[in-house]
Structure formats: structure tokens, C-alpha cells
Structure 1
């Protein structure tokens, strides 16, 4: 991953919904060489949750996971049939930057954006990380990123992004599957535009924001630590979860609803001075409230609505399904 792209990811908040949270290690563990098998070819994908109100209106929810098999050909017949009968579509919950993304994308090619990936004090990873954590980083860096020295200048958050992407690629997973494109085509055929449910963070001056990134110090060591936990120990679980989604094993999918590493990585940005100035506070709570409000409105107004929600956010205790049940809706599992 180019350093310029990593800088863009840094400001965008690390799109790491597929990262799973690992346990802290008391001593540097050995890297286990595992070769999990990723499914490929035509696969049915999972079933959908159904949420109904007293009037019989139905909200169909497709649980999503990331990463997915890189060579997945999703047979989306059931989902496309629901979308073809839907009156509304809800976008996935979360948050996004409200900015001229095209302009921002061009800016990431500038030297100032590339420098935003580096520590503002010019420190290297060896200077930033505790000795035991740096000892864990070294063999993983060499295995997945090679022996080059460039990544050593990156912030821990950016280094974590590059390592994770390379590790996923090696085991045959990708955070950029074709599922989103298939859904978009189905929406277009039906003539529907998804209701925006993400919390939008305003970035009125991307160039100024990049300068702020360059000058900001982030508490992002934990982000790299959690990423090392995943790469060392949880890649087989990510493969198992991706396979469960692909073949439609809903039971296994719920059991493998791993918590995202979102808190550790995005939290490093949200808790910084930059994040505070940009209003990146209580993002999860705000995102949940916005999506649930949109779901209630859709159920009240439309006989059939379709939505996508990350599986973990759906099935975790106190998650979206629990909160919809508590609000009086009937929830039926796939």
C-alpha cells in the first residue's frame, strides 16, 4: 500500500470494519505459520434477518462482514428479489467524511499528504513502540511487508493499516469485495437511492485538514498492538468467518461475530485534538441512534425495506437486533 494512500486512510479514520480485536500478550509470541483455506467461486451468501412491526411492514437486514474471500462470486438471488420488491433501502450505519472526496483523493498524492503518514516529531517505530511490541512487529513486518525500511517512518496507525492489508492479501481475503457493487446495481434497477444513515463529519477544507494531520500526535500504539494480535493469532478466524458468510452458515457467522478493532484505531484519531475539533465524539452512539431512527421511520412508512448492517453490530448484546426487540418489533433470524 502506497504511503500516500495510507495518509488518506489516516484522515478518513481507518476503514477497518473487518479488523478483529485480539487479546494483549504478556510476552512476544511466536508467529504461527497457518494456511487457512478460503472458499472461492459461486457462493450463496447468508440469509437475512426480518424485523416486523404490528402493521406487517418488514425490514430485511443483510448482515455483512469484512474482509471476505477475494475470489468470491456471490449468488445474490434472494437478496436481489427482496430489493426488487423494496420501497426503501437503508445505507449501512457508521460515519463518513463530508468532503469533496475527489478533491481529497487528489490531495493524497501531494508530498504534504505523504508526510502526514509520518510521526510529526520525526520518530521511527523503534522510538515510539515499547521494546516488547517492537520485537513482535519486526518478524511480521519482514514476513508481510519485506525488509524495506520505509514503513519504519510511519505512524503506528499507518503501519498497522499496511501490515493488515498485506496479511489479508496473503491469506486470500479482501476488505473490498464486490458485494457492495452488486447491491448498488440492484438498487439502481429498482430505482432506489439508499437513505444515508452514517454520521457525517464535515471537512470543509481538506488541504487544511491534511496539515492538521501532519501536526497531530496520535495515541495509536494500541492500534498497532491490536493489529499484531490479529495478524499473529486471528487470521484463521477471519478466514472462517469470511467462509461462513460466503456459504451462508448463519450459525457459525453469529458465533464468529468478532468485535471490530475499530475502537483502538479510529479511537486514536477521534480522541486527538484534530478529532475533537472535527466533532469526532461518541461516534458509535451517534451512528447507532441515527440508524435506528431511520429503521423506525422506514418500518412505519414502507411495507418492505432492505438494509445492510455489520453482523457484529446486529447480534452483540445490546446491538441493533436487541434494541429493535426492546422497541416492540418482532425479529426473526435467518
Structure 2
């Protein structure tokens, strides 16, 4: 029973969208609750044809210092369900390298003592005091929600009692699935297995946060109010445009169209949902969660510089955001004097 219970409890903590995904984007505005929609609620999504079959993904970015090289694979998590990803170039570079740097990120874990919190998990995703979405949304926003509920949650009346941040997460996931996209770490898993196959030294850079008081955390979270309505509103606003943009990105990534990838904007609805999480009781009880993403990136930067100093060849994985952003990891290395080259 414990073996089943602990993963379930961990998953409950991880269901908060920002918890293991991203830190807030600096100076990015939080979408207002009355922002005009980009498309009518419930309107069918545009049907861009998704690529299929075996695809190589983008080429590798090259970071160098003298004769020492680090090859960087830009990962993109939302990919067409119908593609099989494989990059022979990445496999060759891994086989020639002395070290594989794990990508930055964070995780949340619970120990065996967390089983004591399981009885309190009932209602974890519900609004406190029996509040419903109709109570939280303006009449205009609720009118936009109703056709989406009918489309994506037709047989789930319980969704009305869930916190907006959880509703937004599931709404977005179902819209992505309808668009033929799957969110997952598959390229990272493939690359990690290749590093194991070739017996490459692995250096992790992720930060793991352990929930110290699971019972107290669950209790406090269940009774505390969150500022999460903007997250649901921003998600409804994005369905007609962002999901389609993700389809375009997925195609560009799968076939390695660098020019198309570089034109895409990676900052969209995340801020509102990140801010919802930051207003939760979990971060008040464990404020170190707020800095975990930055600490992980600091770990990666330090490991990358050390690897470029010591290794002839190093391989690593970064999100495409970190590869392309003017404030991303590669831009920071370039500012430190390293040579950064795009794929040919």
C-alpha cells in the first residue's frame, strides 16, 4: 500500500503547474481577469497538419572554449504524438563526450513519513468553504467557461468545485491532446539512456525539494485562498492561439527548421499560473521552493563552465527557451566569453 500511496501523494504536490516547471518570468505582466479573448470559447482549434514518422529534431548548438566543446540539445516538450524522435548526430556526439550534464530543473519529493498525510488528501484540489467556479468568475468569464466545460468536461460536474489553477491545468492538457500534441520528456529520456549506454559520466544539476511537514502542508493548502482566477482566464484566452502556436513550434522542432523556431515567442500564459502557485500555502511554508529553479540554473552554469575547462567534449540538454532566449543559458555563456554557434 505504501508503494502506491507515496507516488500518489507526490503527484498531488506536483499537480501545481509551476511547482516543477518554471520560475516566474521577470517583468512579465499577469493577464487581467477581463482580458479580451483571442478566440471565442469552445471555437474549434485550427487544424495545422502535424508532421509524423521518424524525425531528427533540431541540430546541436556548439559552445566552445579553445579546443574544448560542449554540444547542446534544445528540448521541446510538446511534440506530435505521431512522431518517433531520433537524432543520430546527438548519439555520435554523446559517444565522443567525456561528460553528460543533466538539464536544470526542480522536483518535489515526500518521504515515508508522508503517509501520515494521506487521510488529509481528500479534497486537496477543491476550493475551500465549498466555493465553486461560478462564485469566483465574473458572469462574463463564466459564460465563456460553460461551453468549454461542455466540450472538455461534459460528464464531470465535480470540476466546478476545483480550484481554478487545477481546472486550467486540466483544460490545457485536454486541449493539447485534442490538437494531437503530447507533453513529455521523451527526448531527454532517450538522450539519458544513450549516455548510460556509452558509460558517460553523468552530472545532475536539478534541485530536489523535500516536503518537510506533509500533514501541515496539506492542511494549510486546503484552507488557504489562492490568487488563481487569472490563471484560468489566461488559459481560456489562449486556447484559440497558443495551442495552435505550439503545433507550429512542434512541427518546426521536429524537422529542425531553425529559422522558424527562432521566430517563435516562448512567453505566453505561464506567468498567471506561476503567480497562482506563488500565492499558495506551500511556498509560504517552504520558501526555498521559490529559489529552487534559480539554484538549479546556477548549478548548471557552474557545471557547464567546469566541463568546458576540463573536458574535450561535453553533452547537455537545455529547454529551447534557455537555448534561444536573450536571457537564457547560452546567452549567459556567450556574455562570459564563450563561443556559441548555431546548428548548420
TM-score bin, normalised by smaller chain: 0.7 to 0.9
Shift of 1:308: 1.1
In 2, Cα distance between equivalents of 1:177 and 1:274: 25
Match of 2:65 among 47, 53, 56: 53
Match of 2:77 among 37, 43, 66: 66
What does 1:266-285 correspond to in 2, within 5 Å? 266-278=274-286, 279-285=288-294
Q: Normalising by structure 2, what TM-score?
A: 0.84
Contact 2:60 2:71 in 1 (8 A): yes
Match of 1:165 among 162, 170, 173: 173
Match of 1:317 among 291, 309, 326: 326
In 1, Cα distance between equivalents of 2:108 and 2:205: 13
Pair 1:27–1:52, CA change in 2 (3 A): closer
Q: Normalising by structure 1, what TM-score?
A: 0.86
Q: What residue is the counterpart of 2:232 in the other structure?
A: 224
What secondary structure is seen at the aligned counterpart in 1 of 2:337?
A: coil
Pair 1:35–1:275, CA change in 2 (3 A): same
In 2, Cα distance between equivalents of 1:193 and 1:262: 34
Contact 1:218 1:272 in 2 (8 A): yes
Shift of 1:97: 1.4
Shift of 1:221: 1.5
What secondary structure is seen at the aligned counterpart in 2 of 1:50?
A: strand
What secondary structure is seen at the aligned counterpart in 1 of 2:326?
A: coil
Q: What residue is the counterpart of 2:56 in the other structure?
A: 44
In 2, Cα distance between equivalents of 1:103 and 1:160: 31
Q: Does 1:7 align with 2:7?
A: no
Q: Does 1:146 align with 2:157?
A: no
Q: What residue is the counterpart of 1:300 in the other structure?
A: 309
Shift of 1:227: 1.6
Q: What do the CA deviations read for 1:188-221 (whole angstroms, capped 9, x no partner)?
A: 1022364222233231344443333323322112
Q: Does 1:92 align with 2:92?
A: no
Q: Does 1:124 align with 2:132?
A: yes
Shift of 1:144: 2.1
What secondary structure is seen at the aligned counterpart in 2 of 1:83?
A: helix
Match of 2:47 among 31, 35, 43: 35
**Structure 1 unaligned blocks of 5 or more:** none
Q: What do the CA deviations read for 1:81-113 (whole angstroms, capped 9, x no partner)?
A: 11111211112222221444x987x899x5633
Pair 1:289–1:132, CA change in 2 (3 A): farther
Which shows bigger deviation, 126-135 or 231-240?
A: 126-135
Contact 2:13 2:108 in 1 (8 A): no
Q: What do the CA deviations read for 1:234-269 (whole angstroms, capped 9, x no partner)?
A: 211100101111111122112124126443323322
**Structure 2 unaligned blocks of 5 or more:** 1-7
What secondary structure is seen at the aligned counterpart in 2 of 1:281?
A: helix
In 2, Cα distance between equivalents of 1:39 and 1:153: 38
